[in-house]
Amino acid sequence: KNEVEQSPQNLTAQEGEFITINCSYSVGISALHWLQQHPGGGIVSLFMLSSGKKKHGRLIATINIQEKHSSLHITASHPRDSAVYICAVLHNYGQNFVFGPGTRLSVLP
Partner 1 sequence: DADVTQTPRNRITKTGKRIMLECSQTKGHDRMYWYRQDPGLGLRLIYYSFDVKDINKGEISDGYSVSRQAQAKFSLSLESAIPNQTALYFCATGSGSLNQPQHFGDGTRLSIL
* Distance between CA atoms of residues 14 and 24, nearest Å: 25
Q: According to the binding rule CB under 8 A, does residue 97 interact with partner 1?
A: yes
Q: How many CB atoms lie within 10 A of CB 70?
A: 26
Integer Cα distance of 62 and 48 in angstroms:
10
- Least distance to partner 1, CB of residue 95, Å: 6
Q: Which of 21, 23, 24, 33 binds partner 1 (CB under 8 A)?
A: 33
Amino acid at 79: P
Listed in sequence order, the residues at least 6 apart from 105 whose beta carbon sits closer than 8 Å to its beta carbon are 11, 12, 13, 19, 21, 74, 81, 82, 83, 84, 85
Angle at the Cα of 94 from the Cα atoms of 93 and 96, rounded to 5 degrees: 155
Closest CB to partner 1 among 27 and 43? 43
98 near partner 1, rule: CB under 8 A? yes
Q: How far is the CB of 61 from partner 1 (least distance, A)?
A: 12
Residue 50 binding partner 1, by CB under 8 A? yes
Is residue 68 close enough to count as binding partner 1 by CB under 8 A?
no
27 interacts with partner 1 by CB under 8 A:
no
Residues found near partner 1 in the complex (CB under 8 A): 2, 4, 30-31, 33, 35, 40-45, 48, 50, 86, 88, 90, 94-102
